[in-house]
Amino acid sequence: MLLNAYIDHTLLKADATVDAIKQLCSEAKAYDFYAVCVNSYYVALAHSELRNTPIKIASVVGFPLGASISNAKISEAQYCIDNGAQEIDMVLNIGLLKSNYYKIVEDEIKAIKKTIGDHTLKVIFENCYLTNDEKKMACKLAVHAGADFIKTSTGFGNGGATLADVKLMKNEVGNQVLIKASGGIRDTKTAQQYIDLGVSRIGTSSGIAIVSS
């Protein structure tokens, strides 16, 4: 599979303008990326820009901290689906995971998956804040809750994807769910290393550089 088919072309910056989102969508069409990933406010705009194309729209929920109340995350996820998103990248509640409140974390993931139905749910761990045991627990909770993907990072924490984390995640989940690597992946060589480890998607704002070099 060509590299472009792995790319979630991403723009989540606070200062992203309407024109910048339109440019993101134009680039996704030009390079035939798998999806664009935008904040929830811009889902409807991306849907309009990508109408009649096969490019998917992913939106983040509870981003980037994961600390929103569950009802807010559920409402945001529903809004995104209603306005044209096919994929939801939710941030799990990092603080509750670290507090060993595992049932609450799992129930929230379940509730969002129930809300979006057959649409794709990716659960963002933000691995830079987690111990290896916490990463393994997050894997278990996401699998039990019915997630479709687990994802390394938001790109807004103090560290992004690492090869070691993806190996750990892959060892924990096997083929039960897919893996998305995100955060700091900016060149072809690095992207290929993650693909060789078994990731199915790469979240990056450097998609053009990755497929052009």
The residues that are catalytic are: 89, 151, 180
SS3 17: coil
Which residues partner with 150 through β-bridges?
123, 179
> Read out DSSP for 32-93?
T-SEEEE-GGGHHHHHHHTTTSS-EEEEEESTTT--S-HHHHHHHHHHHHHTT-SEEEEEP-
Segments in 99-199 forming alpha helices (H): 102-116, 132-145, 163-173, 188-197
